[in-house]
Amino acid sequence: MIKLLLSLLICISLFAEMEVSGHLDLDSQFYITAPDTKHKNSFTAQQTLEFNYTNDDLTFYSRLYAQEDYYDFVSVNAKNERTFARLDELYVKYDFDDDAIEAGKSIKFWGALELRNIVDGFNPQDLRNDLLSVDKLGVWNASYSHYTESGELSVIVKLYEQDQEMAAYPYVYYFFPSFVSYDSSLDTQDASTRPSVYLTYSGSTDTEYALDYMFIYENGYDSQRYFTADKPQNLSPLSPSYGDPTVFTANAYIVNKFMTYNTLVVGSTLLKLEALYAKVDEDINVGDYSHVAFGVEHTVENFYESAALGLIAEYYMYNTFEKDKYGDLELFETMQNDLFVGLRYTLNNAQDSSFVGGVVADFEYNEQVYYMKFESRLSDGFKVGIDYYYIEPSTSYLTAYALLGKHQRVAVNIAYHF
């Protein structure tokens, strides 16, 4: 499929006008509080190039991404293994009067909440990058959509499950201990080419209270993963394997999964809901589970001059239903009993400046996350983003944040868009 789509793109670029856009980024992160054995900063150059061609009802789209990590060019021992190039998207789409078909590699976005979209599991995360902001991997799929007067019905087939590479230990967001080596080859319950099928329906109501909704059913590999080791972590010194690194492998299992996300506008208040239930297909380690999140965002227009102030609150709840199988700790689930309270401040200025920030409180493991983000346009084509994170992990439980350790960072991203 990739050879066919690339050939089509080359032909179109030769005989038709194609829109080309992209951006160049310099991303700098400084870790004020981090483990002593890891790098105290990170400098990454990023390049994104997009090609788009539309002719009547036919659309071709492609997006290429590449990045270079400073430490990968310093010395062998300092390598983060974060320098790579990848094809994020490459697909063709044809629109009929009430239908559409699409095939290729693409990224889909599902969800409505501010802090985390728990139903947004179509694309896996790239584990070589910042774990605090999700960087998705494109997946090969084909879809058929039918449009009604008030909604859209779609059938999507994901063609295979791909491996997820991870950065090396010196990178601060490699969350395993130093004695653990990660094997990027995904261990699947069935063949990796076993397709995952999605049936989705989305729509909206044209009433006094505007409701947008989406329902998703999946039969296939779950987006949640768990890790297994190739040997016990506490070997006897007399063992022939004593001193060798423990190898962790990600595992994918099959589910029947029911998901929904919805928004309801009531005056100046936006109500949000995301929920899912997964019926696991007889995996020895993972049982059925649910994940539900509620959110509310109230906007005060003209809070100061022409600026708008948004007040945000979200609650996340995760439950497993088989006590003899993995729970949230083993599955590295961070949003299992958490409340997020924050605000969004949007300036109606020429720079499109905005600020969002808040605190996440974990009521079960006594963890807190504080963050702030600021974005603004410096001039035509140039944008700047600044963020601050502080993570106070649990001192009593081995959570995902406890593996990362107490963490405090400041990041600056300068991008040129063309």
pLDDT tens-place string over residues 72-108? 999 888 999 999 999 999 999 999 999 999 999 999 9
pLDDT of 400 higher than 50: yes
**Average pLDDT rounded to a whole number, residues 178-202:** 95
Q: How far apart are CA 56 and CA 83, in angstroms?
A: 38
**Average pLDDT rounded to a whole number, residues 42-68:** 96
Note the pLDDT of residue 364: 97
Question: Which among 22, 6, 89, 15 has a CA at the least distance from the CA of 55?
Answer: 15
**Which domains are assigned to the chain?**
2-417 (2.40.160.10)
Note the pLDDT of residue 413: 97
Question: Which among 21, 29, 69, 63 has a CA at the least distance from the CA of 45?
Answer: 69
Q: How far apart are CA 14 and CA 376, in angstroms?
A: 37
pLDDT of 235 higher than 90: no
Range name among 131-135, 246-250, 362-366, 372-376 with the lowest pLDDT average? 131-135
Range name among 11-15, 28-32, 176-180, 359-363 with the lowest pLDDT average? 11-15
Q: Are 207 and 169 in contact (CB under 8 A)?
A: no
pLDDT (tens digit, 9 = 90+) per residue, 101-126? 999 999 999 999 999 999 999 999 99
Question: Which among 88, 30, 21, 102 has a CA at the least distance from the CA of 59?
Answer: 102
Q: pTM for this structure? A: 0.90
pLDDT (tens digit, 9 = 90+) per residue, 331-384? 999 999 999 999 999 998 878 899 999 999 999 999 999 999 999 998 889 999
Note the pLDDT of residue 163: 94
pLDDT (tens digit, 9 = 90+) per residue, 201-232? 999 998 888 999 999 999 999 999 999 988 65
Percent of the chain clearing pLDDT 90 (strictly above): 83
Note the pLDDT of residue 244: 64
* Mean pLDDT computed over every residue of the chain: 92
